[in-house]
Amino acid sequence: MKTIQYLALIVLFILTFSSCNKNKDEEINSTPGYFVLAELNTKNSSLESAKRVSASNFDFGDLKASKEFFFLLVNGGNEPIFNIGLSTDNSQFDVNPTQVPELAGGTIISNAENTGIIPILTLGITHGTNLNGVGFDDLLPMGVNSCVLTITGQTLDNGDTVDISSSFDFSVNAKVMDIELFKDGYTIDIENPNGSVFATVLANLGGLGSLRYYNAYDTSAISIKNTGNVAIDVYYGDESNQDNFVSIQESDSVSIDMPNFITVIVLDSKGTIAENSRIQLGNDGKGYLSVIKNNQPQ
Average of per-residue pLDDT across 156-163: 94
Q: Is 190 exposed, middle or buried (0-12, 13-18, 19+ CB in 10 A)?
A: middle
pLDDT for 243 equals 93
Contact 34, 75 (CB under 8 A): yes
Cα of first residue to Cα of last residue in the chain, in angstroms, is 128
* Residue 17, helix vs strand vs coil: helix
Q: Check whether residue 30 and residue 169 sit in a common domain.
A: yes
Domain with 205, as residue range(s), is 179-292
Considering only CA atoms, which of 195, 156, 154, 207 is closest in space to residue 294? 195
Distance CA 237, CA 258 (A): 8
Q: What is the pLDDT of residues 114-152, one digit of tens each?
A: 456 788 999 999 999 999 989 999 999 999 999 999 999
> DSSP state, 130?
-
Query: Residue 35's pLDDT is what?
Result: 95
221 located within any domain: yes
Confidence of residue 199 (pLDDT cuts 50, 70, 90): low
Count up the domains in the chain and report the number.
2
Please tell me the predicted confidence (pLDDT) of residue 12: 39
Q: Which residues contact 298 (CB under 8 A, 6 or more apart)?
A: none
CB 72 within 8 A of CB 47: yes
Give the CATH number, domain containing residue 122.
2.60.40.10
- b/e burial code for range 244-258 (CB count within 10 A of at least 16 → b): eeeebeeeeebebeb
What single DSSP character describes residue 119? P
Cα separation, 58 vs 289, in Å, equals 37
Is 5 contained in some domain? no
Q: Rounded to two decimals, what is the model's pTM?
A: 0.82
223-264 pLDDT, tens per residue? 999 999 999 999 999 988 999 999 999 999 999 999 889 999
The answer to whether residue 220 sits within a structural domain is: yes
Q: Does residue 194 share a domain with residue 170?
A: no
The answer on 88 and 215 residing in a single domain is no
